[in-house]
Structure 1
Amino acid sequence: MFFGEKLQSVRELNGLSRKELADKLNVSEQAIWQYENQYTVPKFEIANEMKKLFNVKAQFFYTEPFTKNISKVESIAYRSEDREARKKAKMETTYLDFISYFLDNFENKLNLPVSTIKQLREESIQILNLSNKENNEASQLELIAENARKKLDIQSNEGLLYKLELSGIYILEKNMGASIDAYSTWTNEEKPFIILGNRKKSAVRRNFDLAHELGHLLLHYKIDMDSLTKDEHKKIEKEANDFASYFLLPKEEFLKDFSLISKKSNPESYFDMKMKYMVSIGALEYRAYKMNLLTFEENRYFYATLNRKGYRKNEPLDEDISIVRPGKIRSLLDLIFKNQLLSLNDFLNHYYLDRVFLEDLFGFENKYLTQYGEPLDREYFTNSNVVPLFSQKI
């Protein structure tokens, strides 16, 4: 039996509309609709083309669906400039459904450490809901940011991505086009995700993206993003931006370092602070200006110089700071496949997937998983040569 639901899911997973898929297969859009709703079954030649296009085995379309709907369109936090891209959100929920399902399969083989991000979220909501009139919105956000930095044990922004992964957040890279920087969401199963977009971004701008999305995860849990007006959406985006600024640039330490700057309106005066905090020059000045450390005239001169020197897009020192890529899922799969807790070949065959399907899904390089292609002798692994990152289930 051909399952049209699975065709629809892999189509959405690959970001294709019915019309786009129809063009690739040289059939009508109506035909794709009929396949997905199981009014007709594709011919062998068409099914074979779908198999190659989506990196699955032919049997994939003839076995029952296995993913669950664990993510919602209204829970995905896009940036304000990405509002027009919200039509892509349904396809992103399909992506998250696949990711979450496979992660559950892998993690069921291990005893994982307790996640701390949920507790931090609850603490953040409590602070935000404080009735103390002395705490205005800005001071509440700063308190939340200070608490988050402390609880996540952020000693340096250079290790931010690692600390967020350690807290229980799943961070992945995905090609979402040039207009989308990142997005975040909590799934129905309480899994927090941050999905990073354009890999060409500098390390310092990626740090701000991570902090911004952390702000959404902590501050905007359960908010229906689709129901927000334009002004309401701008407000929560400002909250996430302000949180990121407070979080990456803690007040007391920032004030001490900023006092050493000789010319506050000169972008090049911020180079040392950029290397220390791993934050863009623009974000550093923004934090200082909001703390009234620069006059309005100094602020205008700063941005005029920033534009004149082309620093808005490409800042000095960007090339000197390495981009840190997500490693949690790589470590998870390495532990499972190298220790033969699960065979990659068996896993792919069970779900009728090609290796490339899994590599694309998790944002790995081409042929990354070939290192696990040949089953290894289970007896090779002893207590002396396995690093105990997690506890194995008995």
Structure 2
Amino acid sequence: MFMFFGEKLTQLRELNGLSRKELADKLTISEQAVWQYETDNLVPRIEILNQIKTLFSVDTKFFFQTTFIEPVVSEEHVAYRAKDRDSRKKTKLELTYLDYVDYYINYFEKFLVTPTSSITKLQLQIKPFLHSSKFVEDIPRSIAKIASYSRQSLQLHHNKDLMYVLESSGIYILEKDLGTEIDAYSVITKHNRSFIILGSLKKTAVRRNFDLAHELGHLLMHEDIDMESLTKKEHREIEHQANLFAADFLLPEEEFTADFAELQRKSNPDSYLDLKRKYLVSIAAMGYHAYQLGLMNYQENRYFYGQLTKKKYKTFEPLDDEIVPIKPGRVKSLLQLIYKKQVLAVPDLSNIFHIIPSFLVKLFNLNPDFFDEYVAPKPDYFSATNIISIDKFRN
């Protein structure tokens, strides 16, 4: 007799951000019944099982084999860019998501020969400085040095290339619905894989750039910090450090100072439009950085922020609708390579993982028709030394 593994139903429920009550409502059953399924006290009836597998894009066999997912990150290592520390209540659901995306990426990467990522090298280079007395002597200045070194090391010459440069460095950047309170979060898994998860709610390109740089700051500076044990004051300080890093990283001091000196009215937000086009950073963030660098005095800064409020620029700035946000592409490119070269075929998803294509479409926020062209692929004869046969991993 086959055994139903309720743990896998729990994983799928959490992966989709559902409470037991919410899942019960979708299935038109009681919350108690969902609890019994998840704790192996009751096996779902066939009609309920069919509803569940359709809802979560899996095959029936998915629930009758032991879980292949293992935890790859602990709660205390997830760093949030959020409005409030209480947003960490959502962390447990995000851990399941991270376990799944890391598992599938780890599996797909096995078919490729990949060098040590430059982000890993950069993290190792910076770590000794973070634990030195020089860092704590002047933290803002130390962060500026780290940001400058990081920009040079990653060879970021223009902020329009930020997404591409970060993904090329080895960071996996993904989009998902994080709700309204969380902008983004980042983590390093036990496989030493760096992730930045961006909220998929509509956001301007310049604000997304700051989110990316903010999370890069966490990945480089705060890997060893227990985020879960921080007090609210300590959490604010960590977020402040990541903000400082983001501003220093996106607005290199020497170049930005020279450009800022050319402004006719530095306390007028409308004077920043050319700088916004150049740096792809919000007017608010540039004003913040200018004040931190001492390029504006207290009165000028106060007037600047008063004008931001008066002009309602805190919600929508000039050029926000003209600068197009860049979407992550690393995972998409990885899957395209695997399937175009026929290292894997679409039926393998069911044969190996007992999932259907829409499962990965939702997991990685792909276009709904992503797998359509690979359903019946044409023969493709090629020679590629950097692709390993799937047979090696089926034995």
In which range does the TM-score fall when normalised by the shorter chain? Answer: over 0.9
Segments of 5+ residues of structure 2 without an aligned counterpart are: 390-395
Q: Give the counterpart of 1:245 among 238, 244, 247.
A: 247
Name which of structure 1's ranges 148-157 and 367-376 shifts more when overlaid on structure 2: 367-376
Matched, 1:140 2:128: no
Task: State the match for 1:62 in structure 2.
Answer: 64
Does the 8 Å contact 1:47/1:58 carry over to 2? yes
Q: Which moved more, 1:128-137 or 1:361-370?
A: 128-137
SS state at 2:68 partner: coil
Which residue number corresponds to residue 103 of structure 2?
A: 101
Report the Cα distance in structure 2 between the residues aligned to 1:161 and 1:289, rounded to whole angstroms. 27
2:341 and 2:124 map into 1 onto residues whose CA distance is 36
Deviation for aligned residue 1:33: 1.4
Aligned partner of residue 182 in structure 2, secondary structure: coil
Quote the offset at 1:134 in angstroms: 9.6
Runs of 4 or more consecutive aligned structure 1 residues displaced over 6 Å after TM superposition = none
In structure 1, how many angstroms separate the alpha carbons of the residues matched to 2:128 and 2:136?
15
C-alpha displacement at 1:363, in angstroms? 0.7
Q: CA RMSD in A?
A: 1.6
Q: 1:317 aligns with which of 316, 319, 324?
A: 319
Deviates more, 1:52-61 or 1:277-286: 52-61
Structure 1 partner of 2:329: 327
Aligned ranges for residues 146-157 of structure 1 at < 5 Å?
A: 146-157=148-159
Give how far 1:303 is off.
1.1
Match of 1:193, SS?
strand
1:122: Cα distance to partner? 2.0
Q: Pairwise mapping of residues 142-221 of structure 1 onto structure 2 (< 5 A)? A: 142-221=144-223
Match of 1:393 among 380, 388, 392: 388
> Who is 1:228 aligned against?
230
The 5 A counterparts of 1:37-52 are 37-52=39-54
Q: Aligned partners of 1:320, 1:135: CA distance in 2, in Å?
A: 42
Cα shift readout 1:32-70 (whole Å, capped 9, x = no counterpart): 111111111111111111111111122211122111111
Is the Cα–Cα contact under 8 Å of residues 151 and 249 in structure 2 kept in the other structure?
Answer: yes
Q: 1:16 — aligned with what?
A: 18
Q: CA deviation at 1:391?
A: 2.4
Q: % of aligned pairs identical? A: 49
C-alpha contact 1:204 1:318 (8 A) present in aligned 2? yes
Aligned residue identity for 1:316: P
Match of 2:115, SS state, is coil
Q: What CA deviation, in whole Å up to 9, does each residue of 1:167-194 have, x standing for no partner?
A: 1110000011122110001112211100
Task: Give CA deviations for 1:61-98 in whole Å, capped at 9, x if unaligned.
Answer: 11221111112111111135242222221111111111
Which stretch shows the higher mean deviation, 53-62 or 263-272? Answer: 53-62
* Distance (whole Å) between structure 2 residues aligned to residue 175 and residue 292 of structure 1: 38
Structure 2 CA distance for aligned equivalents of residues 173 and 4 of structure 1: 28
Equivalent pairs counted in the alignment come to 387
Taking structure 1 as reference, are residues 10 and 273 closer, same or farther at Cα in structure 2, changes over 3 Å only? same
CA drift at 1:294 = 1.0
Mean Cα deviation higher: 334-343 or 129-138: 129-138
Q: 1:46 to 1:101 in 2, by over 3 A?
A: same
Distance 2:224 2:77 in 1: 7
In structure 1, stretches of 5+ residues that fail to align are none
CA distance in 2, matches of 1:213, 1:88: 18
What is the letter of the counterpart of residue 34 of structure 1? Q
Q: Using the TM superposition, give the Cα deviation of residue 29 of structure 1 relative to its aligned residue in structure 2, in angstroms.
A: 1.7
Distance, in Å, in 2 between the alignment partners of 1:342 and 1:317 is: 43
From the superposition, tell whether residues 11 and 339 of structure 1 become closer, same or farther in structure 2 (CA, over 3 Å).
Answer: same
